């Protein structure tokens, strides 16, 4: 696999630290609310990255954190009169609901920041002891950016470019040595959750949490760190500084960042009224179609979320479900006989589509071209398989199709059994056709359609599917 590395600004061949194994850290949500459509893109993108590595035989350790202590969380908990932990527990549960609806698998590990306070304190101590950090007069602990010559190597931004307080989720500090320095440990303010530390009661800064959690589960140097482009600076830049400042080792070998999402060609923002949570989107759109939309463009490209784009993605997804259902229908009726020459040729072409899919995915996760390979497979299968096709040929097509769609997390809904009333109408229509009662047959067809099902007459009998 070749990956575009944000650190080197070029594509590089992926070489794992440990043969046959991959360690990936993906920045997760701050759990004070439902996650928004912009968050959904990295969740989907790097879920697919993990799946492709698994397809290629790697053992993947995929870590995605929850930031469960933060200024926004404290404010929201105070507004609701509950503890920060109660707020976090609620929205972590809601995260899993929305992630599942988007087809995002749970990570290998989902660490919470508050469950790693001792490790965070140890990491901050290492930085204070080696001169990379210092204690301010109010008990806050800051990272001394001037002590790390490599600061800016990920983002290309110099220390001078770093705006005062841009990376912090609290009021502008006044006791820094340098405005570019950032907080590692925050002294307790009245009414805030806090933990005992060598510097007094307090809580961790945002950046140090991810350094600590990633290294706890993946080691002091690991393979891939990923997240949205908005995290590249200052969050990921600061992670590098504090991690490498503490260990003296390279922190991450490959950095991956996905592009932004615009809403109807405008930047998403609450002030414009176009800020949507995934829970909001689910009220109007099929979330699997949202996943299809996300994967229809290269992950590093900006994409535009609009009604038309989702409608197009939904139409494409419907074609894939139709293809799956057709193969299932043929497989149930197919004769169990040896393959003929044409069917053997189809099996060879199926291998070619899989190779084309893998080539696209191995080229910096080009999911758009990978989807194209799936549709090439579908067109070939639709024109090659008939009611007379051997069962083994149909099953080979099903296997290739399911394997490729599974990597993208698409076409994962099981075909539902027909409701009893719909099945009764289908049976009654079959009887009407046998009796040559065409009027009743047409009436039943219309009733089935009005109920949201599509009925087709085939040489093998009636075929019914839900109109997704």
DSSP string, 92-137: HHHHHHHHHHTTPPPPSB--BGGGGHHHHHHHHHHHHHTTSEEE-T
3-state secondary structure of 17: coil
CA separation for the pair 351, 466 (Å, rounded): 31
Query: ∠ CA 272-273-278 to the nearest 5 degrees?
Result: 125
Cα 25 to the center of its chain, rounded Å? 12
Q: Which two tokens stand for residue 203?
A: 């809580």
Cα dihedral 231→306→44→466 (10° resolution): 170
Q: Give the per-residue pLDDT at 464.
A: 81
Measured between alpha carbons, how far is residue 87 from residues 90, 94, 415 in Å?
5, 11, 37
| Whole-prediction pTM | 0.89
- Reference 197, options 144, 113, 115, 125; nearest CA is 125
User: 141-157: string of b/e by CB count within 10 Å (b at 16+)?
Assistant: bbbbbebbeebbebbeb
User: CA 201, 202, 208: angle at the middle one, nearest 5?
Assistant: 140
CB under 8 Å to 176, separation ≥6 — which residues?
136, 142
What pLDDT score was predicted for residue 166? 44
pLDDT at 168: 45
Q: How many CB atoms lie within 10 A of CB 410?
A: 22
Mean pLDDT, the chain cut into blocks of 10 residues (468 residues total): 98 98 98 95 98 98 97 95 97 98 98 98 98 95 97 86 47 76 96 96 97 98 97 97 98 97 82 84 94 98 93 96 94 95 98 98 98 98 96 98 98 81 88 89 90 79 74
Dmax (CA) for the chain in angstroms is 93
Contacts of 361 by beta carbon, 8 Å cutoff, 6+ apart = 1, 52, 367, 370, 407
Q: What is the pLDDT of residue 459?
A: 66
Radius of gyration in angstroms for the set of CA atoms belonging to the chain, rounded to a whole number: 27
CA distances from 28 to 68, 84, 96, 108, 213 (A): 10, 17, 12, 13, 11
User: What is the predicted pLDDT for the residue at 157?
Assistant: 84
């Amino acid at each position: 696999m070749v990956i575009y590395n944000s650190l080197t600004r070029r594509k590089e061949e992926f070489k794992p630290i440990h043969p046959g194994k991959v360690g990936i850290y993906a920045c997760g949500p701050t759990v004070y609310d439902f996650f928004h459509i912009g968050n959904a893109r990295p969740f989907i993108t790097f879920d697919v990255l993990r799946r492709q590595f698994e397809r290629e035989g790697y053992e993947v350790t995929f870590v995605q954190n929850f930031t469960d202590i933060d200024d926004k969380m404290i404010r929201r908990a105070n507004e609701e009169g509950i503890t920060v932990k109660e707020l976090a527990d609620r929205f972590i549960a809601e995260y899993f609901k929305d992630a599942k609806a988007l087809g995002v698998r749970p990570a290998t590990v989902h660490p919470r920041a508050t469950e790693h306070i001792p490790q965070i304190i140890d990491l901050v101590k290492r930085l204070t002891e080696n001169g990379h950090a210092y204690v301010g007069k109010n008990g806050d602990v800051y990272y001394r950016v001037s002590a790390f010559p490599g600061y800016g190597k990920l983002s290309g931004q110099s220390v001078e470019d770093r705006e005062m307080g841009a990376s912090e989720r609290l009021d502008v500090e006044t006791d820094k040595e340098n405005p570019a320095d950032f907080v590692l440990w925050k002294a307790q303010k009245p009414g805030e959750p806090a933990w005992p530390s060598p510097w007094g009661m307090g809580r961790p800064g945002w950046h140090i949490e991810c350094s600590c959690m990633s290294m706890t589960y993946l080691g002091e140097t690991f393979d891939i760190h990923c997240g949205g482009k908005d995290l590249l600076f200052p969050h990921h830049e600061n992670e590098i500084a504090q991690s490498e400042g503490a260990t003296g080792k390279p922190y991450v070998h490959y950095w991956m960042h996905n592009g932004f999402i615009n809403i109807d060609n405008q930047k998403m923002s609450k002030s414009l009224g176009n800020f949507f949570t995934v829970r909001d989107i689910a009220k109007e759109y099929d979330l699997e179609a949202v996943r299809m939309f996300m994967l229809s463009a290269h992950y590093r490209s900006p994409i535009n979320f609009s009604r038309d784009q989702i409608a197009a993605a939904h139409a494409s997804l419907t074609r894939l479900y139709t293809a799956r259902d057709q193969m299932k229908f043929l497989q149930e009726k197919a004769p169990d006989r040896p393959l003929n020459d044409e069917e053997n040729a189809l099996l060879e072409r199926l291998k070619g589509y899989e190779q084309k899919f893998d080539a696209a995915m191995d080229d910096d996760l080009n999911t758009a071209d990978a989807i194209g390979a799936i549709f090439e497979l579908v067109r070939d299968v639709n024109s090659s398989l008939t009611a007379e096709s051997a069962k083994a040929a149909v099953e080979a097509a099903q296997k290739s199709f399911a394997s490729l769609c599974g990597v993208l997390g698409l076409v994962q809904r099981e075909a539902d059994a027909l409701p009893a009333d719909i099945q009764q109408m289908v049976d009654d229509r079959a009887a009407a056709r046998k009796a040559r009662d065409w009027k009743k047959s047409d009436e039943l067809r219309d009733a089935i359609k009005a109920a949201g099902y599509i009925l087709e007459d085939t040489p093998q009998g009636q075929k019914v599917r839900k109109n997704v």
